[in-house]
C-alpha cells in the first residue's frame, strides 16, 4: 500500500472523532485537563483491538455451535445475538470500563458532567481507530482522486452515522451513571444505561444490515435524531446537578 493511502486513512479516520470532540468539549463550562482528555481518548482507542478479537471469536463460536448442531437458531436469532449482544453490548461495556479505570478516581473528575464527557471521549477514541480500520479496504487500480473521493465519502458517512452514534450511546450511559450517583440504586441505573445504549446501538446496526428500501435510512436516522435530542436535554440537566462525583 502506498504511503499516501496510509496517511489518508489515518487522517480521515481520526477527523470525525476530532470534530465531534471539539463540539462536546465546548459544552463543558469547566474544561478538563488536556492530558486526561488525551489519556481517555487513547484508552478508548486501545480497547478497540481486544473488543474486535472478542467479537470475532464470539461470532465464530455461534457459527461453530450451529454447524455442530449443538444450538439451532434462525437467521433472525443469529442477527439479534450478533448485533445486540456481541457487537453493541461488548462495545458499550468496554467504554464504561475505560472511563471507570482511567478517569473515575482522578481528582480532576469533580463535577457530574465530567462523567458524560469522559464517556464521550472514550467513545470517540474507539470510533477513531474503528474508522481507520474500516477505511483499510482493498483498493486496486484506482487513481489518487478515486481513492480520495472514496475515503472522504466513507469518512463523512461515518461522521454523521457510526461515530456520532458511539458518542450518543456512551453519553446515554454517562447520564444514567450520573443519575446513579444521586440515588441509592446505583448499579440499577448503570445497568439500565448500558442495556438501553446496547439496545439502540444494536437496532441501529441491524437496521442498516437487515432493512431494505427507505427504512434503511429512516430507522437509523430516527435513532440518531432521537438520541441527539435526548442528549441535548440531558447535558443541560446534568449541568444543574451539584456535588462531587464519587462512587
What is the predicted pLDDT for the residue at 233? 86
Indicate the SS3 state at residue 211. Answer: coil
What is the predicted pLDDT for the residue at 145? 81
**Cell triple for residue 61?**
463460536
Distance CA 113, CA 235 (A): 7
The answer to whether residue 103 scores a pLDDT higher than 70 is yes
Indicate the SS3 state at residue 187. Answer: helix
Percent over 70 (pLDDT), the chain: 93
Supply the Cα-derived Rg of the chain in whole angstroms: 19
The DSSP code for 214 is T
Distances (CA, A) of 51 to 7, 94, 137, 240: 24, 7, 20, 35
Q: Centre a 10 Å sphere on the Cβ of residue 160 and count the other Cβ atoms it contains.
A: 12
The answer to whether residue 68 scores a pLDDT higher than 80 is no
Query: What band does 32 get if pLDDT is binned at 50, 70 and 90?
Result: confident
The answer to whether residue 27 scores a pLDDT higher than 80 is no
The answer to whether residue 21 scores a pLDDT higher than 60 is yes
Is residue 112 a contact partner of residue 245, using CB atoms and an 8 Å limit?
Answer: yes
Residue spans of the domains in the chain: they are 3-239
pLDDT tens across 192-242, in order? Answer: 999 999 999 999 999 998 888 888 889 999 999 999 998 888 888 887 776
DSSP one-letter string for 100-118: HHHTTT-TT--SHHHHHHH
Q: Is 41 exposed, middle or buried (0-12, 13-18, 19+ CB in 10 A)?
A: buried
Percent over 90 (pLDDT), the chain: 57
The answer to whether residue 11 scores a pLDDT higher than 50 is yes
Query: What band does 186 get if pLDDT is binned at 50, 70 and 90?
Result: confident
Amino acid at each position: 500500500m502506498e504511503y499516501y493511502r496510509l496517511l489518508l486513512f489515518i487522517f480521515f479516520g481520526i477527523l470525525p472523532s476530532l470534530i465531534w470532540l471539539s463540539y462536546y468539549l465546548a459544552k463543558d463550562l469547566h474544561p478538563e485537563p488536556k492530558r486526561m482528555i488525551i489519556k481517555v481518548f487513547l484508552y478508548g482507542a486501545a480497547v478497540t483491538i481486544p473488543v474486535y478479537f472478542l467479537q470475532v471469536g464470539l461470532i465464530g463460536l455461534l457459527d461453530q455451535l450451529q454447524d455442530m448442531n449443538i444450538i439451532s437458531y434462525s437467521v433472525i436469532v443469529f442477527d439479534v445475538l450478533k448485533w445486540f449482544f456481541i457487537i453493541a453490548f461488548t462495545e458499550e461495556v468496554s467504554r464504561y470500563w475505560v472511563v471507570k479505570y482511567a478517569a473515575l478516581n482522578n481528582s480532576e473528575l469533580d463535577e457530574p458532567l465530567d462523567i458524560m464527557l469522559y464517556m464521550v471521549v472514550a467513545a470517540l477514541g474507539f470510533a477513531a481507530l474503528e474508522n481507520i480500520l474500516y477505511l483499510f479496504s482493498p483498493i486496486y487500480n484506482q487513481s489518487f482522486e478515486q481513492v480520495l473521493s472514496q475515503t472522504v465519502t466513507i469518512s463523512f458517512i461515518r461522521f454523521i452515522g457510526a461515530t456520532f452514534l458511539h458518542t450518543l450511546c456512551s453519553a446515554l450511559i454517562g447520564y444514567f451513571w450520573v443519575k446513579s450517583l444521586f440515588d441509592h440504586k446505583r448499579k440499577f441505573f448503570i445497568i439500565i444505561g448500558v442495556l438501553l445504549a446496547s439496545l439502540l446501538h444494536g437496532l441501529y446496526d441491524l437496521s442498516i444490515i437487515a432493512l431494505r428500501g427507505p427504512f434503511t435510512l429512516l430507522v437509523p436516522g430516527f435513532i440518531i435524531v432521537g438520541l441527539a435530542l435526548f442528549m441535548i436535554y440531558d447535558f443541560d440537566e446534568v449541568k444543574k446537578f451539584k456535588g462531587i462525583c464519587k462512587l
